[in-house]
Amino acid sequence: MIEFDPFDPAYFRDPYPYYARMREEEPVYRREIPEHRVWPHYWMLTRADDVDAALADWRTFSSAKGTLVDTDISLIPPNMFNMDPPRHDELRSILSRALTPKRITDLEPHVRRYAEELARGFAGSTFDAATDFAQPIPTITMCALMDLPVRDRDKFLKWNLDTLAGADFTSPQALQAYAEMGQYWEGLVEERRRSPGPDLISQILNTEIELSDAEVAGFCSLLHDASQNTTMNMIALGTVILAQFPDQRRHLRANRHLWPQALEELLRYASPVQGLARTTTEDVTLHGVTIPEGDQVLVLYGSANHDPSAYPDADTLDFSRDVKNHWVFGHGIHYCLGNAVARLEVRVALDALLDTLGDWEADAAATEFVQLVPTRCITKAPVSAAA
């Protein structure tokens, strides 16, 4: 019998052997949680084909109630992440038009300058890839993207870390952080309505579609979560993974033209977003098992990205692999709009380490994880860098 709880710290360090068993033995896995006040049970999908199909079928696998939490999280502003069409499509089109390729490209000098400055300070020393490197970079990037005061960056980082204090986002620290963020974003929206500029939020406000202040605050909250949480963990995971595969790291350092392909393989292997929840709108039968209408389903991206049916020898990092598709940023109508920003930050940050350090080693035993889903969150990652 398989026993797997994605909210139990016992599984945070290495969930992949459990995914492999579920894919083989119980690809539609039911998890009982009778103590949960909202969801006494939920399901998990682990095979790549099933994950892909569920993400593509928003009508059957709804995002409107897709959060496995044990309390009311109404403090979080409404955002398209937890919406279905048609309102989802309207809001997505607004952000898509505002998040232009030029706006993203213009971020690279900010990211590179800051990443190189940090990396230079690590040469010949031991540093924490999570706290010293991965966490500050997305905060600076978000300030540049949203034209926010750099002096507020410590506040943004604290809020982000506080929301990770509990795996289901319901710890006192998390709820307090959501309340404070909500007030901050509401104040920002009021300010940009009064004094618009060329910034991203002002452009979102300048649209023909009527938006409530809460919906615009939801955009801000979504951008904060996406630019902070997922990206900082991908940078930390990437640093540790490149230490675990020194031959691949040295090959990439000597052949930087491989970055586009190598980045996709690194994203696939690391899978910073391990899974997101959906709610069924009708009975769904897969592999002889019926998931009833109204049940929650955890769609495990991390398992799909390590499914050997999609990627032979999937548990090995291989920069010669041609990754034509992965589920790091989702699939279908909810495919992450911030994927280009995340890709830029990860590539530039790790490139700065390759430039400045060349070689480094990670202390795997001392690396600490505090969350698996939705994001595999790494909070401590000691790394020893060559001089």
Domain chopping of the chain, boundaries: 9-385
Q: CATH 3.90.1150.10: does it fit domain 9-385?
A: no
| pLDDT given at position 177 | 84
The helix (H) or strand (E) run that includes residue 179 is helix 172-194
| pLDDT given at position 38 | 58
| 103 C-beta neighbours (distance < 10 Å), count | 17
Residues 300/49, Cβ–Cβ less than 8 Å: no
Mean pLDDT by 10 residues, the chain (387 residues): 91 96 97 72 96 97 76 60 85 87 92 95 94 93 90 88 67 82 91 91 86 84 78 96 97 97 98 94 98 96 98 97 93 91 95 93 94 91 90
Q: Say if strands 41-45 and 296-299 run parallel, antiparallel, or are unpaired.
A: parallel
Q: What is the sign, positive or negative, of the torsion defined by CA atoms of 133, 241, 232, 355? A: positive
Q: Is 385 helix (H, G, I), strand (E, B) or coil?
A: strand
Residue 359, CB-side half-sphere exposure with 13 Å CA sphere: 5
- 185, 94, 211, 166: which is closest to 373 by C-alpha? 166
| pLDDT given at position 165 | 65
What are the b/e assignments for 317-340, b being 16+ CB within 10 Å?
A: bbbebebeebbbbbbebbebbbbb
| pLDDT given at position 217 | 85
* Packing angle of the helix pair 136-146, 231-244 (nearest 10 deg): 140
The reported pTM is: 0.93
